[in-house]
Structure 1
């Protein structure tokens, strides 16, 4: 019975933590992409993250146009999630400094997964509903543009066919494999890496 409650506790902390972490990282990515602030989904993300993000911005200013407070908040959320799940799982208090590094790796892994899954969704809907004006799809296109644009500058479209997603997929896969190597070098426990979203199949 005790193990059941432990599993439930870890599940709740990991699920709620990842949902909030997703919202914070989405806010950072949308700000990076200069996405539509008035999109209803953007507004929802802003409302969810503002209670913790606005006070943190007083101590963590932006840098080169980047919302550094969002990045710091994401790492802190991952850090708390790792320490809490470690305690609930009976592993005791994990090394806080190591957990901070693991959180950074986990946040990068989550960003890679967000972009990867977002590209899959965008490609599918470009086939079945290419002219869709749904707010979610419009926001997704804006979010992905900073990842496609540098590749397009190097490899222009072939006529009407944009091949930049293929190369972004390759780069994301390589980045994910490198990140897994860094996680192993940082002695990240398997359960910690499993707390964060990753590219499916990796």
Structure 2
């Protein structure tokens, strides 16, 4: 039984992380007023929209955006994570939904967000070394720079050495430690 739960956890974790991550990225890109370009084959929207439209578009009928914040995409990511948790808990023998599941889903949503940001910061660092001037480097910079700008203003300038990605990684990892302790 334990092996079945581990296999289900792995499969659900991968699938939900991809789709919920696409929903969160969609929300963030809308916040940045980025055109997802549904008709453009080389746009990031060509990847994000097919992964997330099936859940986001129906939710938009009931959940409007708040300014530039795409609340339907955020709720979609939360619902996906909640369903993953519910499935895993039912497989492991839970018989009823508990209010703690809602909190656990929120913590997992925040953890997924932080993990995605950590990945983006690493991608930004690597692309700044090897992919300067490429379209993907431009996109990753577009996503990471709004987070780095306040840090760059707060820490001293060391010339060509930019320590703001390191500071952002430290902040994100501290937040992940706090979230990890909230799960316990």
Interval containing the TM-score (normalised by the shorter chain): 0.7 to 0.9
TM-score, structure 2 as length reference: 0.85
**Corresponding residue of 1:179:** 179
Residues 56 and 181 (structure 1), Cα distance of their counterparts in 2 relative to 1, 3 Å cut? same
**Corresponding residue of 1:99:** 101
1:79-135 Cα deviation digits (max 9, x unpaired) = 0000111222x322353421111111001111111111211121112112323x13x
**Corresponding residue of 1:12:** 11
TM-score, structure 1 as length reference: 0.78
1:58-93 Cα deviation digits (max 9, x unpaired) = 2112224211111111111100000111222x3223
Contact 2:20 2:81 in 1 (8 A): yes
Counterparts of 2:12 and 2:102, CA distance in 1 = 17
1:79-158 equivalences in 2 (<5 Å): 79-88=82-91, 90-93=92-95, 95-131=97-133, 133-134=134-135, 136-155=136-155, 157-158=157-158
Counterparts of 2:116 and 2:73, CA distance in 1 = 16
Aligned-CA RMSD value: 2.2
1:45 Cα deviation after fit: 0.3
Long gaps (5+) in structure 1: 185-202
Residues 152 and 118 (structure 1), Cα distance of their counterparts in 2 relative to 1, 3 Å cut? same
May I ask how many residue pairs the two structures share in their alignment?
A: 180
Q: Which has the higher contact order (CA 8 A, sep 6+)?
A: 1
Residues 149 and 82 (structure 1), Cα distance of their counterparts in 2 relative to 1, 3 Å cut? same
Counterparts of 2:5 and 2:154, CA distance in 1 = 51
